[in-house]
Chain A
Amino acid sequence: MTSENQLRRPPFIRLMLLLLPLATMLGAFVWIAALDPLRSFNNGAPPVEALTVERTIIDANGIALKLRAGGSAPMVIAQVAVDDAYWSFTQDPAGPIARGNAVWVQIPYPWVLGEAHNITLLTNTGMTFAHEIAVAVATPKPSGPQLRLQAIIGAIVGLLPVALGLMFYPAMRGVGQGGMNFLLALTVGLLGFLLLDTVSEALEQSAGAAALFQGSAMVWLAALASFLMLMAIGRWRGNPEGIALAFYIALGIGIHNFGEGLAIGGAFAAGSAGLGTFLVLGFALHNVTEGIGIAAPMLRARPKLWTFAALTLLAGSPAIFGMWMGSLAYAPQWSALALAVGAGAILQVMVEVTAYLLRQNAKWQVALMSPPVLGGFLGGLAFMYATAALIKI
C-alpha cells in the first residue's frame, strides 16, 4: 500500500486507524492495573528501598538533611543515628515518604567544627542509609553579604578569565592564515577538554542523585538534546561565523560556567572548607583560554567595544547566577542537568568552530593536518590539562 492510497482514505477511517491501537493500548493498561497478572511473581520480598541525601545544612540547630525517597514503595525513617548514637530528630513533612518525594530531617546534634560526622538513617525494615559529613562547617546563610561574597567569587571564576582572554584580541589581530588556523584549533582543543571535563563532572553529580532521575541516561540525553537544539538554532540563518560564532562560543562557555557555578554554590552551601588562594589563581589561568577562544573567530570582523562587554557578560556572568542558585537550592540532579546542557552546548560550538576553520581554508584537507592546526588543537588540550592538573589534588 502506498502513502498516496493512505491519503485517499476517508478522514473517518484514518481517525479510526489511529484510535484503534490507542484504545487497545489503553485497554491493556487498564487490564494490567486491574487484574495485576504479575501478582503471582510476588515472592514476599520486601520492597526495594532507596534514599538520597540532596542537601546538608549545618547550623546552630544541628544538622538538617534533605532526603529524597526512590523506593518501590513509600519509605519510613524510623530512627536516625549520628556517629553511632541514636539521636532524636524531626521530619517535615512527617510520615511515610512516597517515591520521588523529598523531606527535611532535622537532627539536634552537637556537631564539632572541622570534624567528620557519620549519619545513619534506619528505615522501618531495618535498612540503613549512610551519609558522611567529611568536614563539619556551619552552612553559610543566604544573607545579603553572603550573596555579595558569592558574586565576587563568581566574577573571579567567570568574568575575570574571559575578560583577560579577550584582552589578547588586539595582539591576535595581526596573525596570518596559519596563526588564525592555530588559534581556532586551539579553541577547539580547549573546548574538547571542557567537554570531557563537563561530561565527567555531570556523570559524577548524577551518580549522587536519586535513582529515579536515571543518572547517566539523563546526562547523555540532555547533552544530546541541547547539542541538537543549539545546532538547529545556530543554523537558522546559515552557518554562523565572525561575531555570531563568537556569541555562540560565549553562550556555550556561559552554560558551562553556569553549571560550574551551580556546583561551586552547592559545595559552598554544604560548608566545604578552604584550601588556598593559589587555587583561585590557578582557576583564573585555566579559564583565560575561554576568552582567547571567544576572540578567535572575530579576528576578521570589526567588533565594537560593547561587543566585548556583552561577550564577557554572556560567557562569565552565568557563573555568578550558578553560585547563587547552587547555594540556595542545590540538588545533584539539577547540577548534573545543567552540566549536561553545558556539554551539549560545548559540542555544538566545537562543531561550528571546526566548520568555520574548514571554510577559512580552500584546501581544507591539507589545512586539517597542518602543523598550526594540529599544534593548536593539541596545545589547547595540553594547556587545559596542565592548568587543571595544577589545581587538582
Chain B
Amino acid sequence: MPAQTEKPSHAAESAVAPAQRDARQAVAAGPASASRRALLVGGLVAAGGAAVVARQAQAQTAPAATGAGNMADMAADPYAADTGGMMSGNMTMVGRVDHARNGFDPTAMLTDWDTGRTEILPDGRTLRIFEVDAIDMEIEIAPGVFFPAWTFNGRVPGPALRAKEGERLRIIFRNLGSHPHSMHFHGIHSARMDGITGAGLIGPGEEFVYEFDAKPFGCHLYHCHALPLKRHMHKGMYGLFVVDPDPALHPEFADVAASRVLGSPENAQWQELAMVMNAFDTNFDGANEVYAVNTIGMAFMNAPIKIDKSRPVRIYLMNATEFDPINSFHLHGNFFDYFDTGSQLVPTLRTVDVIMQCQAQRGILEFSFADHEDGLYMFHAHQAEFTELGWMGFFDVSGGRGE
C-alpha cells in the first residue's frame, strides 16, 4: 500500500481529476444519464470540497486511496465467503456445486472414458458398440446457478467415447429429449451417417444407429447438429471422440502409437486427462456468463487435479465454447508439446506454454513435471476474462505416488 502523503493541494487535485473524467463520461453517456442534478452535485461537491472546505475534501479522498489498497483485511472478516484454501483470494465463486445431484463430477470425467462394448465381426475386425441417450436435464454449472441443459447420457460434456483405429463403430442413439437431436461425428464417414437433417437427425422418442469405421486416429469430437446449431451446442450437446492409433499401422512410430492405446502396457505409465473447454450463456443473450473445463466453473480451483510427477501427462483437449471464437490453454511453470487434432504422432508444436483453439478445434498436450518441485501449478485460459469467469484450475503435483 502506498504511503499517504496528501497535502491539501493534492486533495484538491484528486478531487478535480475524477471530475474531468466525470464530465467526459457524462458527455459520452448522453442526456439520459447526465441528469442536471448529478452534474450539479458535481459542481457542488467540487465547490464545497475544493473551494469552500478543503479539509473535508481531503477526508473524502483519503478513504478511497486506502480502501483501494487495503483489501487484504477482508480475509479477516468472519462473514467473508469460504475460500476453501483457494489461492485466488476473493476472486472466486461463492459456495460449492453438488456433483452428486448433477450426476457427474468434473474430476471423475477427466479419466472416465466410455469404451462401449465389443464384438468380433465375421471378418475378424472388432465391432465397438456405444449407446447414447439425449436427455433434457437441469444442471448446476456454478455454485447455485442452474442451467436447463440438453445432454448426451445425462452429462455435459457427453461421454468421452474412445475407440481404436480401424475398428467398426456402432453408436445406438436414442432421443429421450424434447427436441430433435443428432450425433455428428468429426472423423471420416459416409454422408448417410453425418448427423444432419436426413442423415441421423431424429425427433423425440426416435432411435438411430450410426455406423462407420474409426478413422482417422486422433482427438476428435461429436456434437448435435440439429438447428439452430448454436442453441443445441451451447445447451451442452458435445463430447470427446478419441480414436487411438493402431501401432501396427505406424511402424516408424510404433512406440508412440502404443503409448496412446488405452489399456496397453505402454499407455499405463501415462496420466491421461479428458478436458473439454466449455461455457454457458445462462441468460441466453448470446454471451457466456460461466466458463469452465468439464462444465463446472472453478471446479479445479476447488479440487486441484492430483498429478504424480514421476509419470508424464497427456491431455485430450477440446474447445466446445460457443459465442467466443477462440479459447486457449496456458500452463504455469512448464512447457508442453502439442499435437493438433491428435492426428499426428510427432508434435505439431514443440515446447510451448500457450495454445489456442477455435470452436471445435482440439489436440493432444504432452508434458512432464518430473524435474519440478512439488506444488500447485495453475492452468487456465489466457483470455483473462474467461479465467476470472471460471476457467482456471490447479495441478497438484507431488512426487512418487503409485507407478
* Complex Cα spacing A123 to B64, Å: 30
Contacting residue for A79 out of B34, B65, B145, CB 8 A:
B145
Minimum C-beta distance from B50 to chain A (A)? 7
Q: Would you give the shortest CB distance from B388 to chain A, in whole angstroms?
A: 3
Decide: A273 and B45 in contact? CB cutoff 8 A.
Answer: yes
Query: Nearest chain A CB to B305's CB is how many angstroms away?
Result: 20
Taking CB atoms, residues of chain B closer than 8 Å to A388 are 36
- In contact, B298 and A274 (Cβ under 8 angstroms): no
Are B145 and A122 interface neighbours, CB within 8 A? yes
- CB-nearest residue of chain B relative to A120? B289
Interface residue? A166 (CB, 8 A) = no
Pair A138/B90 contact, Cβ less than 8 Å: no
Interchain CB contact under 8 A, B70 and A157:
no
The 3 closest A-B pairs by CB, nearest first: A279-B43, A126-B282, A274-B46
Tell me the smallest distance from the CB of B20 to a CB of chain A, in Å.
Answer: 8
B49 touches A274 (CB 8 A): yes
Q: Closest B-chain residue to A146, C-beta based?
A: B56
Whether A89 and B81, one on each chain, are in contact in the complex, defined by CB atoms closer than 8 angstroms, is yes
A128 at the interface (CB under 8 A from B): yes
Establish whether residues B42 and A60, one from each chain, have CB atoms under 8 Å apart when the complex forms: no
Interface 0/1 of B365-403, CB less than 8 Å to A: 000000000000000000001001110000000000000
Q: Which residues of B are found within 8 Å of A127, using beta-carbon distances?
A: 282-283
Q: Is the CB of A277 within 8 A of B37?
A: no
Looking at the complex, which one of B14, B47, B64, B143 makes contact with A277 (CB distance below 8 Å)?
B47
Q: Is B248 an interface residue (CB 8 A)?
A: no
Contact status A152-B26, CB under 8 Å: no
CB pair B385 A126 closer than 8 Å: no
- In the bound complex, CA of A58 to CA of B14 (Å): 17
Nearest-CB distance from A140 to chain B (Å)?
6
Interface locus among A237-245, A262-270, A357-365? A262-270
Chain A residues near B91 (CB-CB < 8 A): 85-88
Residues of A within 8 A of B280 (CB): 126
Decide: A260 near B37, CB < 8 A? Known: A79-B94, A85-B91, A274-B16: yes
A108 interface residue per 8 A CB criterion: yes
Do residues A108 and B18 form an inter-chain contact, with CB atoms below 8 A? no
| Chain B residues whose C-beta falls within 8 Å of the C-beta of A278 in the assembled complex | 43
B74 within 8 Å of A by Cβ?
Answer: yes
Q: List 17 A-B contacts (CB under 8 A).
A: A61-B67, A78-B142, A80-B94, A86-B93, A88-B94, A113-B61, A126-B145, A126-B147, A128-B289, A138-B63, A149-B49, A153-B45, A153-B48, A273-B18, A273-B42, A275-B39, A392-B39
Interchain CB contact (< 8 A) of A264 among B33, B40, B95, B298: B40
- Given A204-B35, A263-B37, A275:B145 Cβ within 8 A: no
Is B71 in contact with chain A by the CB < 8 A criterion? yes
**Are A87 and B90 in touch, CB under 8 angstroms?**
yes
Chain A residues, CB < 8 A from B29: 134
Chain A residues in 8 Å Cβ range of B95: 78
Alpha-carbon separation in the docked complex, A156 to B36 (Å): 16
Q: Is the CB of B81 within 8 A of A90?
A: yes
A124 to chain B, nearest CB (A): 5
A371 CB-CB contact with B under 8 Å: no
Instruction: Contact check, A124 vs B145: say whether CB atoms are below 8 A apart.
Output: yes
Q: In the complex, which residues 74-109 of chain B have their Cβ closer than 8 Å to any Cβ of chain A? A: 74, 77, 79-81, 83, 90-95
Task: Pick the contact of A58: B67, B94, B389 (CB < 8 A).
Answer: B67
Q: Are A149 and B22 in contact (CB under 8 A)?
A: no
- Using A126-B280, A146-B56 as known contacts, say yes or no to A113 and B37 having CB atoms under 8 A apart: no
Interface string of A123-156 (1 = CB under 8 A from B): 1111110000011111011000110010011001
Within 8 A of A (CB), among B233-253: none
Is B19's CB within 8 Å of the partner chain A?
A: yes
Question: Taking CB as reference atom, which chain A residue is nearest B31?
Answer: A392
- Within 8 Å CB of B49, what residues of A? 149, 274
Q: Does A84 contact B (CB under 8 A)?
A: yes
User: Which of A86, A128, A141, A201 has the most chain B CB atoms closer than 10 A to its own CB?
Assistant: A86
CB closest residue in chain B, given A92: B79
Q: Does B51 contact A (CB under 8 A)?
A: yes
For A62, the chain B residues whose CB sits under 8 A away are 67, 71, 74
Given A84-B389, A388-B36, is A277 in contact with B77 using a C-beta cutoff of 8 Å?
no
Contact A90 B41 (CB under 8 A): no
Interface 1/0s, chain A 181-209, versus B by CB < 8 A?
A: 00000000000000000000100100000
Which residues of B are found within 8 Å of A135, using beta-carbon distances?
Answer: 18, 21-22, 25
Give the nearest-CB partner of B17 in chain A: A114
Give the nearest-CB partner of B46 in chain A: A274
Q: Which of A60-108 contact B (CB under 8 A)?
A: 60-62, 76, 78-81, 84-90, 92, 106, 108
A156: chain B residues within 8 A (beta carbon): 44, 47
A112 to chain B: which residues have CB within 8 Å? 68
Asked if A267 and B37 sit within 8 Å, CB to CB, the answer is: yes
Residue of B nearest to A94 (CB): B79
Q: In the complex, which residue of chain A has the Cβ closest to the Cβ of B92?
A: A88
Does B46 lie within 8 Å of A276, measured CB to CB? Answer: yes
User: Which residues, 195 to 240 on A, are CB-close (under 8 Å) to B?
Assistant: 201, 204
Q: Is B144 an interface residue (CB 8 A)?
A: yes
B33 pairs with A134, CB closer than 8 A: yes
Within 8 Å by CB of B90, from A109, A124, A157, lies A109
* B26 surroundings in chain A (CB, below 8 A): 393
- Please determine whether A84 and B385 come into contact, CB atoms closer than 8 angstroms: yes
How would residues 5 to 40 of chain A score, 1 for a CB under 8 Å from any chain B CB and 0 otherwise?
A: 000000000000000000000000000000000000
The answer on a CB contact under 8 Å between A86 and B389 is yes
Is the beta-carbon distance between B282 and A128 smaller than 8 angstroms?
yes
- Cβ–Cβ contact B283 & A128, under 8 A: yes
